[in-house]
Amino acid sequence: MVGRIVAGAAAGTAAAIPMTAYWEYLHARLPGEPPRPLPPREIVEVAAVKAGVSRQLSERDVQNLTLCAHFCYASATGALFGALAPRRPAATIGAGVLFGLGVWIGSYLGWLPATGLRHHPRHDQPARTGLMIGGHLVWGTTLGLLMALGRSRLAPASTRDRARV
């Protein structure tokens, strides 16, 4: 179990790379999007205000905290997926997609608005909400794929041979 959790954490962290690239590429191209940062930075800025430290943070500090928070959250949720994911590689990929969507739902419709760290997505442009959902689907797909690849490589030879049949 610990091995699956660690693998999930690593896969979650790695999956945040294509997610972030997807967001960065499409963010500037969103129709009707006013110039504002992506949600991970918005969340860090609000958290800094709530903690009373926003005035002490430099731009570089905010950038570093944003990256750290984003990748740590990806790692933590990836660890949870590692503990819960199906063992069959094909099922793991599909579960990753659904898990990515679930992370978006639980975060953007759940705990973020409930804690006041981010507004509800109904206040965003539809294209921005679509970008956020799409990024979480990229993350979940990559997470599931990495976990499936890791499981198929780590499986004993007899299990791998049966899976190919």
Question: For residue 49, is it within any domain?
Answer: yes
Look at residue 47 and give its three-state secondary structure: helix
Which runs of consecutive H residues, i.e. helices, occur in 28-58?
39-51
Question: For residue 159, is it within any domain?
Answer: no
Structural domain span for residue 105: 2-152
Which runs of consecutive H residues, i.e. helices, occur in the chain?
2-27, 39-51, 59-84, 89-106, 112-115, 126-154, 157-164
Q: Residue 145 in contact with residue 93, Cβ under 8 Å?
A: yes
Q: What is the domain count for the chain?
A: 1
Residue 153: per-residue pLDDT: 62
Look at residue 75 and give its three-state secondary structure: helix
Residue 16: per-residue pLDDT: 97
Q: Residue 43 in contact with residue 118, Cβ under 8 Å?
A: yes
Alpha-carbon distance of 144 to 87, in angstroms, equals 11
Which amino acid is located at 67 in the chain?
Answer: L
Q: Phi and psi of 87, rounded to 5°?
A: -85, -25
Give the containing element (helix H, strand E) for 140.
helix 126-154
Alpha-carbon distance of 96 to 77, in angstroms, equals 11
Residue 155: per-residue pLDDT: 52
Question: For residue 109, is it within any domain?
Answer: yes
Question: For residue 121, is it within any domain?
Answer: yes
Mean pLDDT per 10-residue segment, the chain (165 residues) = 92 97 90 84 97 96 97 98 91 96 97 96 92 97 94 54 44
Q: Residue 138 in contact with residue 97, Cβ under 8 Å?
A: no
Question: For residue 97, is it within any domain?
Answer: yes
DSSP secondary structure code for residue 98 in this structure:
H
Residue 150: per-residue pLDDT: 84
- pTM of whole model > 0.85? yes
Question: For residue 8, is it within any domain?
Answer: yes
